[in-house]
């Protein structure tokens, strides 16, 4: 009798295990809509704008116009705050040059026939950089301005070169190709200015004049 009970118990256990296994297999099926909604994207970075977006005219125009706007506004800050002749001269050249490229960009957009309107306000990151310049301590201002100019012109050069090579709108590509060498010159000038402050050479020259 005991043996019979044991056999029956074993059979019941086996059936239970089989049922559990079947249930587990069913669970491995397609996720429910609720489960799918709760599951993060396998590649969330795909939703973040990548450098490839810079080959699209609207993205390029927004970034190029913002770069010019930052240069002009930063130059105005330098004109007011700097007492260094080299910095003031560089800033004046940047304000003039980037005001001109802004007009050239608008002309290129018009020539392309594209319905693109350049931004009229700085994006958050460049506005933050401009705010940092405005808040910089007087004794650190010139170096901070020079540093920011190297970074800004390097970013602008990368943008222009990429669009000149892979851009999607001919007239705007021509603008990028024509503007890149000018920005390269500005970058070289900014690096020279930065080097002067990094080594103390420019500061020493400036102090010797007073």
Q: Mind listing the pLDDT tens digit for each residue in 39-76?
A: 333 333 333 444 558 999 999 999 999 999 999 999 99
- Is residue 129 over pLDDT 80? yes
Tokens of 52: 């490839």
DSSP for residue 48: S
Q: What pTM does this model have?
A: 0.71
| CB of 68 closer than 8 Å to CB of 120 | no
Q: Is 209 strand, coil or helix?
A: coil
Name the nearest CA neighbour of 100 among 174, 183, 173, 187: 183
Task: Give me the DSSP letters along 159-174.
Answer: HHHHHHHH-S-HHHHH
The reported pLDDT for the residue numbered 175 is: 98
pLDDT > 90: percent of the chain = 68
């Amino acid at each position: 009798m005991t043996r019979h009970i044991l056999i029956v118990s074993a059979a019941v256990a086996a059936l239970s295990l089989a049922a559990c296994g079947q249930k587990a297999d069913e669970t491995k099926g397609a996720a429910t809509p609720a489960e799918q909604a709760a599951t993060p994207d396998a590649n969330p970075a795909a939703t973040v704008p990548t450098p490839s977006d810079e080959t699209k005219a609207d993205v390029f125009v927004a970034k190029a116009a913002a770069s010019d706007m930052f240069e002009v506004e930063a130059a105005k800050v330098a004109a007011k705050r700097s007492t260094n002749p080299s910095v003031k001269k560089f800033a004046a050249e940047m304000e003039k040059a980037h005001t001109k490229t802004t007009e050239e960009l608008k002309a290129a957009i018009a020539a392309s026939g594209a319905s693109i309107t350049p931004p009229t306000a700085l994006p958050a990151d460049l506005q933050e950089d401009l705010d940092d310049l405005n808040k910089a301590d007087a004794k650190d201002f010139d170096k901070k301005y020079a540093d920011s100019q190297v970074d800004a012109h390097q970013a602008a050069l990368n943008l222009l070169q990429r669009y000149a090579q892979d851009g999607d709108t001919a007239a705007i590509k021509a603008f990028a190709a024509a503007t890149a060498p000018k920005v390269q010159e500005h970058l070289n000038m900014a690096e020279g200015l930065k080097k002067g402050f990094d080594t103390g050479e420019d500061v020493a020259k400036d102090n010797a004049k007073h």
